[in-house]
Amino acid sequence: MLCRVYEFLKNFALSLIGIFIPVYIVSEGFGLLPAVLFVVISGIAGLVLSYPISKLISRIGFKKSLITSYVFLIPGLLVIRQFKLSLTVIIVSSLLYNLGRISHNISLNSEFAVNSNQNKRASDSGKMLSLPTVSRIIAPIVGGVIFAEAGFTELMYATVGLLAISIIPLVLSKEHRDPMNYNMTKLFSEEYLKTVPLFIIRGIQAVTAVAIFSLFVFTNIGGSIDVGGAKALESLGFVLTGLIVGRFATQIRKELFVLIGCLGASMVFFLRGFLATPM
């Protein structure tokens, strides 16, 4: 129970500000390229740091890894607002913020892989991916309102405050050790190499769906409230889709789910190019 409270609070905090960091960079007159640079660093950090962070998690445990993520998340947020905005500040902020975010995500996913029931993993995966996302439905709208009415500084302090509160249930929760064996050589096996194109496409889709589309909405359609509303609707669709997939994954061929998902995502992205108003 404490873990779920922690996860809800932390996801809410990160969703409160996450999509608005690139928007803030653009609003300060730095243009799209520095804002996109913040996002690109996120991908590079994930590619380079995921394996060493996973090894570290296997040594110190999930709980300590999650606590460690705050050491990077909070400074990453403070840096971008407390110092005069520049390319150096953007790079340092992105590295710190994403180092904390990666530690958070890998710790939670590893814990799920270890503790979930293999026979019910498809259903549990849908719930794990969807239920915490409920906080991400509300948070972007709240973040957009705070950004529009009070400013980015207040949004940043609200996020840091929620992160600080989320530490309490985490500290009170039980520790879990990771018995998983992380072996890089398996990534280059024929079985895993077949999935590389799928994950590359999934990565491109994730970046464009969240960061790039948010910048598109902000620069071409409306303000921060519209950005938050668009992200909230996307999260709502993610929740519903995750629950449906979790419910029927064991009854329908996975290839069919992938095909339907790809076709649906392609249609959504195609239609997004024609958006001209908030409605």
Which one is predicted more confidently, 274 or 213? 213
Report the amino acid identity of residue 76: G
Residue 86 has pLDDT above 70, yes or no: yes
Task: State the Cα–Cα distance between residues 226 and 232, nearest whole angstrom.
Answer: 10
Looking at residue 157, its pLDDT comes to 92
Closest CA to 42 of 105, 124, 127: 105
Closest CA to 210 of 128, 135, 269, 154: 269
User: How do residues 145-201 score in pLDDT, each as one tens digit?
Assistant: 999 889 999 999 999 999 999 888 888 877 665 555 666 666 667 667 777 777 777
Angle subtended by helix axes 32-60 and 87-115, to nearest 10: 40
Residue in the structure block whose two tokens are 């620069």: 219
Report the amino acid identity of residue 223: G
N-terminal to C-terminal alpha carbon distance within the chain: 38
Task: State the Cα–Cα distance between residues 14 and 121, nearest whole angstrom.
Answer: 26
pTM for the structure as a whole: 0.76
Count of alpha carbons within 13 angstroms of residue 146, beta-carbon side = 20
